[in-house]
Chain A
């Protein structure tokens, strides 16, 4: 398979996952799309140096996480876009999903995850939403597995409190 074909295959399987990570970390759909674009273009440039050090998805999410963190640092001092905050519950969800999920539940899930610090949020998104193993999450975040487990435990405890009315 050529580099382009490999990256396109990866894009078809994981673009929404990378978008989810970007959006959950940055809270802005345009910035999340920038993360997707930067991630896959960077992956295309560097795939020749990829050396089978675990699942290729983990390698890709590592690029995406670095890109999102860079965006986050650049953006730290900018005011939050009020349109994005108001529309958070509906953002990125299809009409079908919006109609099945009550807007209230969607909004509660989004608000709850927003209360997590970025490091807890990234670990939780990668493990629970994107389904990476704890080991792969550790690789993406460049921390130890025990640190990932600790972050997941903290994240779940906070989310349990935040979502009390929905459990």
Chain B
């Protein structure tokens, strides 16, 4: 797999929606390409930061007020 081929596959790779064959080829390329490894590491960190800290929470009183509207 080349750098361009990995780049084209990145959305699926990062989402884990690829075949075993594609995944093996991507990992093989990443083992030998520092540039692509750096990019993938960074993008995985970006994803993780937002997965862990991106969700916000409504104020409890607002949540309760809206919930009550739905009960009738």
Give me the interface of A with B, judged by CB distance under 8 Å. 4, 7-8, 11-12, 15-17, 19-20, 23-24, 29, 32-33, 36-37, 40-41, 44, 91-94, 97, 101, 105-106, 109, 113, 124-125, 127-131, 134, 149-150, 152-153, 156-157, 159-160, 163, 166-167
Contact present for B54 and A160 (CB under 8 Å): no
Among B17, B53, B70, find the residue whose CB has the most chain A CB atoms closer than 10 A: B70
Is B31 close to A, CB under 8 A? no
Contact present for B57 and A41 (CB under 8 Å): no
Cβ of B38 to closest chain A Cβ, rounded Å: 9
Main secondary structure of the interface of B (DSSP, over half): helix
Contact present for B56 and A15 (CB under 8 Å): no
Given contacts A8-B71, A167-B42, contact A152 B53 (CB under 8 A): no
Question: Which residue of chain A lies nearest to B46 when distances are taken between CB atoms in the complex?
Answer: A159
* Interface residue range, chain B: 20 to 34
Contact present for B57 and A109 (CB under 8 Å): no
Contact present for A113 and B56 (CB under 8 Å): no
Contacts of B41 in A (CB 8 A): 167
Contact of A4 among B12, B56, B62, B70 (CB under 8 A): B70
Contact present for B58 and A36 (CB under 8 Å): yes
Cβ of A102 to closest chain B Cβ, rounded Å: 11
Cβ of A154 to closest chain B Cβ, rounded Å: 10
Among B11, B17, B63, find the residue whose CB has the most chain A CB atoms closer than 10 A: B11
Query: In the complex, A159→B47 CA distance in Å?
Result: 9
12 further A-B contacts with Cβ under 8 Å, apart from A29-B59, A149-B11, A153-B10, are A15-B58, A32-B56, A37-B69, A92-B58, A109-B50, A129-B55, A153-B11, A157-B43, A160-B39, A160-B46, A163-B46, A167-B46
Q: List 16 A-B contacts (CB under 8 A).
A: A8-B67, A11-B66, A12-B67, A15-B58, A24-B56, A37-B69, A41-B69, A91-B56, A92-B58, A101-B53, A105-B53, A109-B54, A128-B51, A130-B55, A159-B46, A159-B50
Contact present for B66 and A93 (CB under 8 Å): no
Contact present for B54 and A20 (CB under 8 Å): yes
Contact of B49 among A93, A97, A109, A130 (CB under 8 A): A109
Contact present for A17 and B55 (CB under 8 Å): yes
Question: Which residue of chain B lies nearest to A23 when distances are taken between CB atoms in the complex?
Answer: B56
